[in-house]
Chain A
Amino acid sequence: MTGTHAAEWLFYAFAALAVFSGLATITRRNPVVAAVWLVLCFVAVAGCYVLLSATFLAAIQVLVYAGALVVLFVFVIMVLDVDDSGAAKHRGPSTTATLGYAAAVTAGAGVLVWVFGGTLARQVAIPPKPLPAGAGFGSAESVGRLLFGHNLFAFEAVSLLLLAAVIGAVVVARSRREHVGEGP
């Protein structure tokens, strides 16, 4: 059916976009450029979420990740005023880098083998469950129902975590000169 094929094509599009922009992110020298590519990646991922019937989450992804987080990144880049000197250009991959490559490749390969070769592959080869009609799967209402119901404790805990993060960020990033002038 067109719908099925459309889903497939959409998936490939979003997936390709996500991979490409992710690659771009990690390879750009200029952090601002990398941040922009990251936004694109996030949006592509949000698209994948929609394909997986996680509509609410897709919205949250765009709002929080692309909207708030990357903006924060850009602010920090501006604050730091990083000078992209060319001193680092001529150095080849260090031992650490090689190690890193090896680690990443090994781990990735291991995971792939695991996923492909293990029972998991057989399990996930089944088609996804047909969605129940009615209350939308992945809609704000259903997710909200869980958040404020079964997982209330975690929800509250995360809010506490965010509070801690806010305070922590403020405290950590405070300028030293302010420190000296004021009292504790």
Chain B
Amino acid sequence: MTEPSLNLHWIPLFPLLGAAFNLLLGAQVIRLLGDRLGKEIVHLVAIGAVAFSCFSSFSLVQDQLIGVGYERMVQQVYPWIVSGNVNIGFDLMIDRLSAVMCMVVTGVGLLIHIFSVGYMANEPLYHRYFAYLNLFMAAMLVLVLGKSLVILFVGWEGVGLCSYLLIGFWFSDEEKATAGRKAFIVNRIGDFGVILGMLLIFSVVGSLDFDAIRSVCSAAENSPFVTTTIFGVSIATVATMCLFLGCTGKSAQVPLYVWLPDAMAGPTPVSALIHAATMVTAGVYLCVRLNFLFALAPLTMAVIALIGALTAFFAATIGITQNDIKKVLAYSTVSQLGYMFIAVGFGAWATAIFHLVTHAFFKACLFLGSGAVIEACHHNQDIRTMGELRKKMPYTAGTFFVSCLAISGIPPLSGFFSKDEILLHAYVNYSHWSVGLNVVAYTLGMLAAACTAFYMFRLYMLTFEGKFRGDHHTWSHYVREHGIMSGPLLVLAVLAVIGGFLGYPSALPALPLMAGGEALPHLLEHWLEPVTAMSATYGGIYYLGPRAGWFRDDHHHITHAAEYLLMGASVMVAVAAIGFAVWLYRDGPSKQVARWMESPVLAALHVWSYGKYFVDEAYDVIVRVVRFLAGVCYHVADALFVDGLGVSGTTGLVALVGDGFRRWHNGNVRRYLAVLLLGVGVVMGAVYFNPSIAQFGPTPLNSMDLGGLRPTLGAQRVRMRVLGFVEFTLGPKEQG
């Protein structure tokens, strides 16, 4: 059931107002009321705005979607573009998928805003930071609540902008500013894909509203999306490929992930919010939102799955060797996003969202924890100079440890449930390249899981255990915990623990505390069913591919035995990797690893991994080419042609001609007279050869009435009208 709502626009509007307040008045407030009180007001406004959005969305979900049972609520805010056939309204919609995203975004966002109060306490541009943060929340909420691709894109661009603003927040540092620019530009490449996709969809559907697209897709194989082709490829495939390009940009997949590690130049809460929990998940959201369209393009789905698997593994291998605490987490994010896209690629939409939610919890917790650590080590981010921090920062260490367990996939934490489900679907679901892709995806996923567990615990051990390797001054003065930063950490850690029960698989035995002993259903999957239902009806071909083989039981479900097997495999891999890491790094930087690095093969691998496979350097070549072309355009096309020939040329020509003519004006009266007579001669000649040009007034040849007077002195009666209303006549009276 759809229900019109009048309150949806407040959800993104409040953070927007908060941003406006802080941008316009924040500086004044801090100046007038002093540092302490002023900053209080600033962050209260910001936190209040987000809290309001959070509360609104939760209550909306609770009352309307759960309580009354509406499937979704729509609000038409403003008829935005009405032009001919194009009718794009600014419509917001909260359905089950948006509800999940909304709650995650506002909830995690609120916690991060609170954390920021402690982290950015000494920042001079305090108000600007909170303004940008609020602006980001507004944009993300618009993205999530949009009812059409256009509104989604508005939010998409908005979060891209805020990402740029926040990454380059400390823009006086050249490197940080460049990182911000890099993020924006790489995202732009992706946006190009999104726009192309939107145009293609519009050409088929005539509208960009999700409902319209859905109804056009409902004909499955007969839908115009499939039947219309470009160069032999269906529009569905092309459009979804283009949209996926945008996803690789926004959600940091291969090949457009390169901005995310550099984005760590921004403040750590920003990394937590934008580059872990919310913005980077926009790509996944887009795919799930348009699942009916993606399902019509099996080729694209296969590509998505492949790229997701590659990214997951690729990034994980880089993460193993990094020494900057935030870089490790960044590559971890890229890797986990790869998992989400594996799920998308195999048609496991709810699973992707599930992992999105759990990832938000533990990744945000990890990032915030690292923020607390960085603050404690006096803005030092190198884990080689940390260690033994657990002694002085127990809460941080504890939450960090829990989140590491979650991300490694240890039951019963949330990460286990979501990651395991992804791997399961990767193995059994049908795909366009089913024979090979299932194996590849599963294998890469497992390897990535192993690497993940390894590098996360390497990170933990080097940061929190062992002996402190930094300088004594830092240890005694800076290393400590702040209450305001620990609060959000605890909340997130708790969520990371219990979040898994959103998607409790049916295979596992029912726990006694749920629903009177009955099996707990997969809550999230049921919740999202209306959203994903359509794609499931396409001939039922998207689940259980040939690989499922002996996994399948008579009812076309996966047998419990199979599930146990896969779960066991992933847990074993994770435990083994964790054990290995803990053993290697028990005393800090490992001497065994140093000895292994003496072997040339391993040393070479290390160089490749540490150097991020030199992808940035490879892209730099392209950038140089573009820069060169731009330089050519500037120096040749612009400076030489437009400025030189065009502008200066025109003025030069005018000056030249003017100079030439000026020489005629020597003041000599006789010359002037001569030229005048010459002109008279020319006119007379013209009249001789073409008498009609000397006509004055209407004639049979020329009916245009020039309204002139025939020059007879006093002989003609003239009626004149002056200034439009004064009339008078001159001349002799009418005579016969």
**Chain A interface (Cβ < 8 Å from any Cβ of B):** 95-97, 99-100, 102-104, 106-107, 110-111, 113-114, 118, 149-155
Report if B618 contacts A (CB, 8 A): no
Cross-chain contact A150 with B732 (CB below 8 angstroms)? yes
24 A–B contacts, CB within 8 A, in A order? A95-B671, A96-B668, A96-B674, A97-B670, A99-B675, A102-B678, A103-B674, A103-B675, A103-B677, A104-B677, A107-B677, A107-B684, A110-B681, A110-B688, A111-B684, A114-B684, A149-B732, A150-B715, A151-B713, A151-B714, A152-B714, A153-B730, A154-B713, A155-B714
Contacts of A113 in B (CB 8 A): 688
Contacts of A114 in B (CB 8 A): 684, 688
Contacts of A107 in B (CB 8 A): 677-678, 680-681, 684
Q: Closest Cβ of chain A: how far from B693's Cβ, in Å?
A: 14
Chain B, Cβ-Cβ closest to A155: B714
Cross-chain contact B674 with A110 (CB below 8 angstroms)? no
Q: For window 647-678 of chain B, which residues contact chain A by CB distance below 8 Å? A: 668, 670-671, 673-675, 677-678
* Cross-interface CB contact of B731 among A100, A104, A153, A155, cutoff 8 Å: A153
- Give the distance in Å from the alpha carbon of A61 to the alpha carbon of B369 in the complex: 117
- Give the distance in Å from the alpha carbon of A15 to the alpha carbon of B271 in the complex: 109
Cross-chain contact B684 with A110 (CB below 8 angstroms)? yes
Chain A, Cβ-Cβ closest to B668: A96
B684, B714, B715 interface centre (most CB from chain A within 10 Å):
B714
Q: A150-B714, A150-B732, A151-B715 are in contact. Are A99 and B678 (CB under 8 A)?
A: yes
Q: Closest Cβ of chain B: how far from A127's Cβ, in Å?
A: 26
Contacts of A111 in B (CB 8 A): 684
Contacts of B677 in A (CB 8 A): 100, 103-104, 107
- Give the distance in Å from the alpha carbon of A111 to the alpha carbon of B677 in the complex: 12
* Cross-interface CB contact of B681 among A103, A153, A155, cutoff 8 Å: A103
Cross-chain contact A96 with B671 (CB below 8 angstroms)? yes
Report if B685 contacts A (CB, 8 A): yes
- Chain B residues with a Cβ closer than 8 Å to the other chain, count: 19
Chain A, Cβ-Cβ closest to B684: A110
* Cross-interface CB contact of B714 among A100, A106, A154, cutoff 8 Å: A154
Contacts of A151 in B (CB 8 A): 713-715
- Give the distance in Å from the alpha carbon of A102 to the alpha carbon of B713 in the complex: 34
Q: Closest Cβ of chain A: how far from B457's Cβ, in Å?
A: 100
Contacts of B731 in A (CB 8 A): 153
Q: Closest Cβ of chain A: how far from B664's Cβ, in Å?
A: 11
- Give the distance in Å from the alpha carbon of A83 to the alpha carbon of B347 in the complex: 113
Contacts of B714 in A (CB 8 A): 150-155
* Cross-interface CB contact of B671 among A99, A118, A149, A152, cutoff 8 Å: A99
* Cross-interface CB contact of B678 among A106, A149, A153, cutoff 8 Å: A106
Contacts of A104 in B (CB 8 A): 677
A107, A111, A151 interface centre (most CB from chain B within 10 Å):
A107
Q: Closest Cβ of chain A: how far from B716's Cβ, in Å?
A: 10
Contacts of B680 in A (CB 8 A): 107
Chain A, Cβ-Cβ closest to B715: A150
- Give the distance in Å from the alpha carbon of A104 to the alpha carbon of B674 in the complex: 8
- Give the distance in Å from the alpha carbon of A96 to the alpha carbon of B675 in the complex: 9
- Give the distance in Å from the alpha carbon of A106 to the alpha carbon of B681 in the complex: 7
Write the B706-736 contact mask toward A (1 if CB under 8 angstroms, else 0). 0000000111000000000000001110000
Cross-chain contact B685 with A110 (CB below 8 angstroms)? yes
- Give the distance in Å from the alpha carbon of A114 to the alpha carbon of B686 in the complex: 11
Q: Closest Cβ of chain B: how far from A161's Cβ, in Å?
A: 12
Cross-chain contact A100 with B684 (CB below 8 angstroms)? no
- Give the distance in Å from the alpha carbon of A100 to the alpha carbon of B730 in the complex: 42
- Give the distance in Å from the alpha carbon of A5 to the alpha carbon of B732 in the complex: 42
Chain B, Cβ-Cβ closest to A101: B674
3 closest A-B pairs by CB:
A107-B681, A154-B713, A154-B714
- Give the distance in Å from the alpha carbon of A102 to the alpha carbon of B714 in the complex: 38
Q: For window 689-714 of chain B, which residues contact chain A by CB distance below 8 Å? A: 713-714
Q: Closest Cβ of chain A: how far from B331's Cβ, in Å?
A: 86
Write the B140-177 contact mask toward A (1 if CB under 8 angstroms, else 0). 00000000000000000000000000000000000000
- Give the distance in Å from the alpha carbon of A135 to the alpha carbon of B731 in the complex: 25
- Give the distance in Å from the alpha carbon of A90 to the alpha carbon of B697 in the complex: 53
Cross-chain contact A118 with B673 (CB below 8 angstroms)? no
Cross-chain contact B681 with A100 (CB below 8 angstroms)? no
